[in-house]
Chains A and B, each alone.
Chain A
Amino acid sequence: MSRVMQDNDIVITGIGLVSSAGMGFEGLSASLRSGSAHRSSLRKHAAEWSDRDYIGATVNGWDPEPLLGKKGLQFMHAGSQYLLGASLLALRDSGLEGNMPNPDELGIVIGTNLGGLKAASRYDYTALTQGPRYVSPMEAPNTLANSPASYLAIRVQARACNTTISTGQCSSLDAIGYAANLLRKGRAKTILVGGVEELNAHSLWVYNSMNVLPGEGAEAIGKPFDAQSAGWVPGEGAAVAVLERRADAVARGARILGEVAAWSSSFRGGAYAAGRATALERAIRQSLDTAGLKPEEVCMAVAGAVGYPAHDEVEALALRAVLNDCSTPVCAAKGLFGETYGAGGLLSLAAAAAIGRSGVLPESIGYTIDSAAPDGLAGMRRQSGDRQLSGGGALMSAHDYHGMSSAVVLRVG
């Protein structure tokens, strides 16, 4: 893969996260190596409508005050706090903390889905049962999906743009595509691109209604590419990357963690994995084309597979169709993070960056396409032992319950 670096390349100069795999790169790397992240009972969230238990990939020991200070926290829901925390960590990682860009040139693009649900539900219930004067005006912004991004814009003083994107499990990959476009077109100099979702009684209820959660007593849960997996381990958290044009990053002496080379997206819903896979395959091929990469030049595929076999099969089919004989290592980091919905793509990006840095795809999240096996889930084998990676193109993919498919090509390592 010979390629000349361009000033207008979109590069990643910082990553921050607040997740079940810790709050920073060190914690994440340790989690990737050990193959374990935090899990806890979601009984308190499910209690309103069920007496059974669910296991969630939750943020452990989150104490926002040391990072965010006390001001304004009272009315900020957990998701907004996670996003602000991950953003400040990303800015610190990029060397921009204390040396912030001009607000007119700093933008925000966030993938998230269910941010307004809890507050809007409470508003409506309170209005109907007690009267509309009994809702808190301070909760008003929390009724909207763009509230996490809005708190963030105020906190970091970002005026170039403030966009929220909701495309379910594709949200934060789409946010990366959107952000890269704005940077290429000169609409911002620096963008915080992130993904966030919080677990609460309302979001868990939506997942339950989507029938993606495991049934009672299921043995295998949240296991990517596993036909026996009974559904999602619902997750929460936020991940944020600092994106800039290469020339700007180089000019300020920033460390470059990777490059966003391409994004593409496509749609196909319906009940059949093979039909849905045609759309994902198209998005993957388009993004590779845009990045100027051949399938054999992909050093690692970073899949969105999460342990819901009907949709994991979509990814298995599409990856096999594109990468078939390349024996490309496949990373499925959602086995660790759970399904964090709007945050999933960005958390996978953080994992890809960590793996790119270490040059090793750990056994716990590694898979291999077995071109001798039948197509579909059967063609995805768990990796045995750690696998050394060469640097190069990392292909990220995501497929959503509602039919969206997205792909991002990164250059890492």
Chain B
Amino acid sequence: MTKRIVITGLGVLSPIGSGRETFWQGICDGAVGTGPIRTFDTAMYDVHNGGEVKDANPLDYVTKLEPSSIGRTTHLAIAAAKMAQSDAGWNGGEYEPWRIGVCFGTTMGNSSIIEDNTNLLVNEQRMASHSLWSNYPQHSISSAVAEELELEGPSMVVPTACAAGNYAISWGKELIEDGLADAVIVGGSDAMSRACYTTFHRLGAIAPEICQPFDKERKGMMVSEGAAALVLEEYEHAVARGATIYAELLGYGLSCDAHHATAPHPEGLGAILSMQRALQSAGVLPEQISYISAHGTGTKANDATESAAIRRMFQERADQVPISSIKAMLGHTMGAASAIEAVTCALAIHHGVLPPTMNYNEPDPECVVNVVPNAIAYQPVRYALSNSFAFGGNISTILMGEAVS
């Protein structure tokens, strides 16, 4: 019999607040967390806004490793993982350490190390420390999480750019289904990155003031930072230990546009495939979907092609099924984005709330229009579909639902 995988712990650090409760309050209030960037001087750019984690210091969560020898993306991942573990109510006896895995996604990895190094090169003609550089490789994110939480199951990083969170989440599900772990802490993490900002700036993709997904006047995406972690475990185990079950992870789809290194396929070919496969793997029909958490970056190209894909997939229901993009509030937290959106979907299901799309003023006929405008709506969410798209055409969709007994 197929194992049922449920979500029982949530950790998040985001521009609209950190910790499950604060974050969810931010979602319910329609908080917009983007604004002038403080991490680096933006004077050289044409735009200056982004989203940063301001209400929590991830270093407070680093207790075993030397904080100065690891980058901020790892700090954020450790903090999110510890929040999720604590939220799950784990106190150490639930599983053997070697039966708990870690899987994180990231876009830029620890590019703060690159940027610290550039600053030192330019200002002091020297490089950043060996100890810091030794922890540049992407998988130092998951190894640091495993060391801090004393976990000995599979520990992996899936750096599939802006779809990385969903890739990590879906691989966690596979690890449990295949018996390689009893529980996995999955998620995504990316610190505010100047190199990333330079990339999107050069592509002319950054909005000057605010992010407005699906709005006719949308002007682009917003580079942000954040991290999220979710505790995945088997339904029977979660019930047996009396855990709070936020939602069930029912299925996922992977695909690739195989079209262009940075632009989406104009008809959303990969997006359709990914959504179809997520539905198929979960045994859920399109008409059963109660909410779509869109990738919705706020760029002309993304929102139009994602809308085209949703229209193809959902036909006449495309303008009835509620859709939102929380990137209006958070900006695009890169590899963390789909993990934070997964946290949001789990809480949307748990509380029966549709998250809003803020900054939404004028519908775009090229886009889906039922975008839960500017305020939450109270409505049961039985099945939520969450899309994530990335450079290189990497695409992943996850499907969650109520964990009915």
Contacts and interface: CB of A to CB of B under 8 A. Distances in A.
Contacts of B199: 123, 135, 140, 143
Contact of A153 (B147, B196, B258): B258
A372 interface: no
- What size tier do the contact residues of chain A reach? 35 or more
Interface string A108-139: 10000110110011011101110111011100
Contacts of B143: 267, 269, 402-404
B394 A162 contact: yes
A205 B122 contact: no
Interface string A256-293: 00000000111111100000000100100010000000
A400 B139 contact: yes
A124 B130 contact: no
Given A163-B167, A205-B133, A168 B195 contact: no
Contacts of B118: 121, 124-125, 128
A404 B155 contact: yes
Contacts of B114: 117, 120-121, 124
A124 B192 CA distance: 13
A210 B134 CA distance: 5
A137 B202 contact: yes
A144 interface: yes
Contacts of A157: 258
A279 B152 contact: yes
Interface string A43-78: 000000100000000000000000000000000000
Given A124-B118, A125-B121, A403 B198 contact: no
A209 B133 contact: yes
Interface in B99-138: 102, 107-109, 111, 114-115, 117-119, 121-122, 127, 130-138
Given A124-B198, A128-B118, A159-B256, A166 B155 contact: no
Interface string A222-259: 00000000000000000000000000000000000000
Interface string B287-330: 00000000000000000000000000000000000000000000
Contacts of A206: 133-134, 136-137
Interface string A191-217: 000000000000001101111000000
A124 B195 contact: yes
Contacts of B152: 266-268, 279, 282
Contacts of B202: 132-133, 135-137, 140
Contact of B254 (A151, A160, A167): A160
B77 to A, nearest CB: 13
Q: Which of B142, B143, B390 has the most CB of A within 10 A?
A: B143
Contacts of B127: 49, 205
B277 interface: yes
A403 B157 CA distance: 13
Contacts of A270: 147
Interface string B354-396: 0000000000000000000000000000000000001111100
Contacts of B257: 159
B296 to A, nearest CB: 21
A156 B258 CA distance: 8
B197 to A, nearest CB: 8
B161 interface: yes
A92 interface: no
Given A123-B199, A131-B44, A279-B98, A150 B394 contact: yes
A36 interface: no
Interface in B149-169: 151-161, 167
B163 to A, nearest CB: 9
A391 interface: no
B274 to A, nearest CB: 9
A167 B203 contact: no
Contacts of A133: 202
A141 B121 CA distance: 24
Q: Which of B114, B137, B254, B277 has the most CB of A within 10 A?
A: B137
A93 interface: no
B208 to A, nearest CB: 15
Contacts of A404: 139, 143, 155-156
B273 interface: yes
Contact of A141 (B153, B156, B198, B261): B261
Given A145-B109, A146-B160, A164-B159, A117 B256 contact: no
B10 to A, nearest CB: 23
Nearest to B178: A181
Contact of A149 (B137, B140, B197, B392): B392
A146 B164 CA distance: 10
B133 A161 contact: no
Contacts of A154: 258-261, 393
Interface in A173-189: 174, 178, 181-182, 185, 187
Contacts of B4: none
Interface string B243-258: 0000000000011111
A377 interface: no
A114 B392 contact: no
Contacts of A380: none
Instruction: Report the 9 A-B pairs with minimum CB-CB distance, sorted nearest first.
Output: A150-B392, A209-B133, A162-B256, A141-B261, A166-B138, A145-B159, A265-B154, A161-B254, A267-B155
29 contacts: A113-B139, A120-B114, A121-B117, A121-B195, A127-B194, A127-B198, A128-B44, A136-B202, A141-B391, A144-B392, A145-B159, A146-B391, A147-B391, A150-B256, A151-B392, A160-B254, A162-B255, A162-B392, A163-B167, A174-B154, A185-B174, A206-B137, A211-B130, A267-B143, A267-B146, A269-B143, A279-B152, A282-B98, A402-B143
Given A107-B256, A150-B392, A267-B154, 17 more contacts: A114-B136, A120-B114, A127-B194, A132-B201, A135-B202, A143-B108, A144-B108, A144-B161, A146-B161, A146-B390, A150-B394, A151-B261, A158-B258, A209-B130, A267-B102, A267-B153, A267-B155
Interface of B: 44-45, 98, 102, 107-109, 111, 114-115, 117-119, 121-122, 127, 130-140, 142-143, 146-147, 151-161, 167, 171, 174, 178, 180, 194-199, 201-203, 254-262, 269-270, 273, 277, 390-394
